[in-house]
Homo-oligomer: A and B are copies of this chain.
């Protein structure tokens, strides 16, 4: 396992790998790795000669009132898990290493990034696309694996790759759930036992909405209201529950096929997201 801490050394190594004809798959993460991340590494392992995992809690995608300072970290545990799943390289820059103090460039996607989390967190996706563009230019991957837990992020990154001509294939990976149905997230560790049990309402509500909409696509609005009510009844503070066409990230039209029903809700001070993607 090679561990790089600086952009310069990491990029030099990646460029050498490319020159030697190796294919690279990158799994960008914020660390505190769980089985969801492991599933991404397993997919990357099957795609490329070299699997790189980046571990970086990116300050530019957090708003001042969010959890950047307390985001959980466990570098030694992360390294052990990466080794266990056959990753070859970890890139783990210190907070001050990724951005020069006078950095002034942004990469921004201005359509798909607007609804859902983009509405609640207006600077979030600009931070994500900028840091992911940097990670792509540093790691020089042929493939990059993103989990569909953050489905909108996955779509935004796919759009960025297409629009800016990154020679990279984005591989969306299925959302992974705990045995009780809760979508795996590093933020689940913030939850008390009681909050966690009440947070299961998110996925129950999404499944009910999916069933209702699959049975009758005219039931969309009613199904979303019912889902919000279910999460609220469980003590959650709903940020959004919405249904969008996956291709446009706009409200589904008559011709829409693949849709996402997505939710964000707070339990205690912890904001959780979840979604179901299906054909209508």
Contact = CB atoms under 8 A, between A and B. Distances in A.
Nearest to A139: B165
Given A19-B21, A21-B19, A164 B104 contact: no
A104 B100 contact: no
B165 A7 contact: yes
A241 to B, nearest CB: 25
Interface in A119-165: 129-130, 133-134, 137-138, 140, 159-160, 162-165
A167 B162 CA distance: 20
A210 B279 CA distance: 67
A180 interface: no
A110 to B, nearest CB: 5
Contacts of A107: 105-108, 133, 164
A102 interface: yes
A122 to B, nearest CB: 16
Nearest to A107: B107
A159 B104 contact: yes
A267 to B, nearest CB: 33
A217 interface: no
Contact of A104 (B11, B19, B112): B112
A78 interface: no
Interface string A3-24: 0000100010001001101000
Given A104-B112, A105-B160, A130-B164, 15 more contacts: A7-B165, A11-B165, A11-B167, A15-B167, A18-B18, A18-B19, A19-B21, A105-B109, A105-B129, A106-B110, A107-B133, A108-B108, A134-B165, A137-B164, A137-B167
Interface of A: 7, 11, 15, 18-19, 21, 99-100, 102-112, 129-130, 133-134, 137-138, 140, 159-160, 162-167
User: Which 10 pairs of residues, A with B, have the shortest CB-CB distance?
Assistant: A105-B163, A104-B111, A137-B165, A103-B163, A134-B165, A105-B109, A105-B160, A104-B110, A138-B165, A106-B108
29 contacts: A7-B165, A11-B165, A11-B167, A18-B18, A18-B19, A19-B19, A100-B162, A100-B163, A102-B111, A104-B110, A104-B111, A104-B112, A104-B159, A105-B107, A105-B108, A105-B110, A105-B159, A105-B160, A105-B163, A105-B164, A107-B107, A107-B108, A107-B164, A130-B164, A133-B164, A134-B164, A137-B165, A138-B165, A140-B167
